[in-house]
Amino acid sequence: MADGAIAWSEKEIGDLTAKVKALKTSMGRVIIGQENVIDSLIICLLAGGHALVEGVPGLGKTLLVKSLSQATELDFHRVQFTPDLMPSDIVGTEILEEDHATRKREFRFQQGPVFTQVLLADEINRAPPKTQSALLEAMQERSVTFAGQTHKLPKPFFVLATQNPIEQAGTYPLPEAQLDRFLLRIDVVYPTEEEEIAMVSATTHAGLKDAEPVMDVATLLRLQQLVRDIEIGDHLVAYATRLVRATRPSLTTVPAVQKHIGWGAGPRAGQALVLASKARALMQGRLAVTREDIGEMLLPVLAHRVLRNFEAEADGVAIADILQALREHIRPD
């Protein structure tokens, strides 16, 4: 373990990794297919980050986060983002109350739906920037400031925001500052034919059951501590940093980046890549990060932090293709 790390017993580590496997199994009983999506969601939760989920309607994004909250026994709130949604509808507001005994009136802060452990921000890009920004402090600081008072959010606090990548009418693209607060971008794709048959069959009979609770809050918080203590060699930290720096057109030697990227990722991307790689290593039952972990987490960590230029959009060059070229060009020492 890293210097200054908590002392972990072999038994506790074994018990915690078994809980992670049980969590994936419990969610897999509800979510048919989408194994990569489930893995990415659990990685994000273990790393203590937030997830941006993209996919067309009907692919089970809401069911995905609901099953996660059920399996982990976390409080769950859902907010449907709409053009008329106000910041106070998310963080809360002050109400005037009167004490019936003394007739004294005073303001009391009434907490909004953000005061939960799992928050589903459904179709987040349908709300205007003023409302979207209401989540910024909550996501970064795990607190809400209202009328000069700071209110701490519950632990853990996990935001899963969804958006439809196809329908753009009446939407407000998320600003880069807010996109950078999401640890991962998870793409939910269409299921295979076999998975879709199983899904239709299951949901048109008795229906799917709820996910079985397999992890309590204390266990999850302990797992998040363990992720921080996963080993990563200095050469792999340097490798992750070089990958992030190579997304910047002014610094890179990667031809695909020079040609197709307008704006590269910032330093927070390097932190996210290392942390997500640690969580993936733990999910794989390992206590040390490998080069494969970093390579597998490259796309979900950087996909929303790297902006294509006009030439890339005109030529139909996908972010995934550019990042694959980056991965092939940049090698660890």
Residue 115 to residue 91: CA distance in whole angstroms: 7
Residue 25 to residue 28: CA distance in whole angstroms: 5
Strand partners, 159: 119
pLDDT in the model for residue 286: 92
pLDDT in the model for residue 247: 94
Mean pLDDT within 117-127 = 89
pLDDT in the model for residue 170: 65
pLDDT digits (tens, 9 = 90+) for 145-179: 887 788 899 999 999 998 877 766 667 888 888 88
Residue linked to tokens 């640690």: 278
Mean pLDDT within 124-142 = 85
Identify which has the larger pLDDT, 7 or 23.
23
**High-pLDDT (> 70) share of the chain, %:** 95
| Cα Rg of the chain, angstroms | 21
3-state secondary structure the chain: CCCCCCCCCHHHHHHHHHHHHHHHHHHHHHCCCCHHHHHHHHHHHHHCCCEEEECCCCCCHHHHHHHHHHHHCCCEEEEECCCCCCCHHHHEEEEEEECCCCCCEEEEEEECCCCCCEEEEECHHHCCHHHHCHHHHHHHHCEEEECCEEEECCCCCEEEEEECCCCCCCCCCCCHHHHCCCCEEEECCCCCHHHHHHHHHHHCCCCCCCCCCCCCHHHHHHHHHHHHCCECCHHHHHHHHHHHHCCCCCCCCCHHHHHHEEECCCHHHHHHHHHHHHHHHHHCCCCECCHHHHHHHHHHHHCCCCEECHHHHHHCCCHHHHHHHHHHHCCCC
**Model pTM score:** 0.88
**High-pLDDT (> 90) share of the chain, %:** 43
Mean pLDDT within 180-207 = 82
For residue 246, give the DSSP letter. Answer: T
Residue 58 to residue 62: CA distance in whole angstroms: 9
pLDDT in the model for residue 206: 63
Q: Is it the case that residue 4 has pLDDT exceeding 70?
A: no
Residue linked to tokens 């109350």: 97
Q: Is it the case that residue 277 has pLDDT exceeding 80?
A: yes
Q: Is it the case that residue 204 has pLDDT exceeding 80?
A: no
pLDDT in the model for residue 292: 95
pLDDT digits (tens, 9 = 90+) for 31-84: 877 888 899 999 999 999 999 998 777 767 788 888 888 899 889 899 999 889
pLDDT in the model for residue 231: 94
Domains of the chain in sequence order: 1-84+114-229 (3.40.50.300), 232-332 (1.10.8.80)
pLDDT in the model for residue 107: 79
Q: Where residue 189 falls among pLDDT bands split at 50, 70, 90?
A: confident
pLDDT in the model for residue 194: 85
Q: Where residue 102 falls among pLDDT bands split at 50, 70, 90?
A: confident
Mean pLDDT within 241-267 = 92
Instruction: Enter the tokens of residue 31.
Output: 């979510």
pLDDT digits (tens, 9 = 90+) for 207-248: 567 788 899 999 999 999 999 999 999 999 999 999 999 999
- Mean residue pLDDT across the chain: 87
Q: Is it the case that residue 5 has pLDDT exceeding 60?
A: no
